[in-house]
Structure formats: C-alpha cells, structure tokens
Amino acid sequence: MIHIVDEAPAHVGAREALLDLSFGFDRHQKTSERLREGRLPAFAYSALDEDGELVGTVRLWPVSDGTGQGSLMLGPLAVAKTCQGQRIGDRLMRHALTQAALAGHGSVLLVGDLAYYERFGFARGLLDGVVLPGPLERERFLGLEFTSGHLERLSGCLAGAGQIDPVAALGLPSVDLPYHKVA
C-alpha cells in the first residue's frame, strides 16, 4: 500500500537521492531550478511504501510573472524505478493538483512531456506571453487552469515567489537529515 503524505524533514535525503537517480546530478542546472533556488515549496508531497520508505515525490512552487500575477510551478515529479507502472506518479499529481485547487490557486505550470501530463488537464500553447529565466523548449512548457482566463493574464518572465528558505538565504550548508533508502 502506498501512502501520499506531506513531505517531512526526514524525507529530504531520500528525496534528493531519488531526484539524482531520476534526473541526474546536473539537474540543478535546469532552467526550472532558477525558480526554486533559495525558496520553499508551496506544496510538497511524498509517496511512502508500506515500510515507510520514500518511493515518490512532487512539489509545487510559487512563481510570479512580470506583473506580479501568481501561479504555481510543478516539479520535480519522480517515482522510484522499482515502483514505476504502479500509478504512483498519477496519485501524486492528482493529490498535488487537488490541494492547489482547494487552496485557491488559479493555475499550475510545468516543463514536461505533454503525452504524460495531458491526462491531468495540462496543455501547450497557453503560455505564449510567458518566458522562463533561461533556455526553454516551448513545446514542453505546459499549463493547467483552475480559474478560467488565469493563464492568458500571465506575461513576462517568471520569477520565484513566496517564502525564502532561511538556510539557503543565509548561505549556510544544508543539514544532512536521516536518509531513507530509495529502491
């Protein structure tokens, strides 16, 4: 049985290991990372197996456009290779999107494969007036609206918004938290 829970500090080590395995050690060089740097996510969820081991993760980050209009940027979403095909990614996505909608957010953006994300309502071509702070494959820049017209009001370059991560803001080294194995 897989449980979707709020991410906890004890999940950090396993989450980082899973993301390194899923996206490679150069994942911090991606354009989407510019929007996450030094910030805390608005939502963060972990998928835990019956032994309490982390097997999946998803986060949503507050962003704002050139006019201050807010949205959420989803990512990264990852599932342990040993658990792929069990629809854990689907469950994480549906949970995260439901929570974002219930909290009153107007839209969610992401950079990803349309073939996977369209089942959740994401579409391309909705963000023509929006750019990211770095290289972007436009065909992978997808949006989902909870509030009609929210995406068409976004314009300009997205920037990170929301709470600053105090550890990152002070330039302190990150603390190694308990590590959970990732299958």
Domain 3-169, what fold?
Aminopeptidase (3.40.630)
Indicate the pTM of the whole model: 0.87
C-alpha distance from residue 28 to each of 33, 76, 79 (Å): 6, 11, 18
CA–CA gap between residue 13 and residue 7 (Å, rounded): 12
SS3 content of the chain, % helix, strand, coil (to 5): 30, 30, 40
Closest C-alpha to 124, from 116, 147, 55: 116
Half-sphere CA count of 109, side-chain side, radius 13 A: 29
d(CA 69, CA 79): 31
pLDDT (tens digit, 0 to 9) for every residue of the chain, 183 residues total?
A: 999 999 999 999 999 899 888 887 777 667 788 888 888 999 999 999 999 999 999 999 999 998 999 999 999 999 999 999 999 999 999 999 999 999 999 999 999 999 999 999 999 999 999 999 988 999 999 999 999 999 999 999 999 988 787 665 555 555 444 444 444
The whole-number pLDDT of residue 60 equals: 97
pLDDT digits (tens, 9 = 90+) for 42-79: 999 999 999 999 999 999 999 999 899 999 999 999 99
Contact 38, 160 (CB under 8 A): yes
CA atoms 170, 175, 180, 183: torsion sign: positive
In the chain, where are the structural domains located? Answer: 3-169
Contact 123, 142 (CB under 8 A): yes
d(CA 88, CA 104): 25
Give phi and psi for 9, each to the nearest 5. Answer: -55, -35
What is the full DSSP assignment across 130-171?
Answer: EE-SS---GGGEEEEESSTTTGGG--EE-EE-S-B-HHHHTT
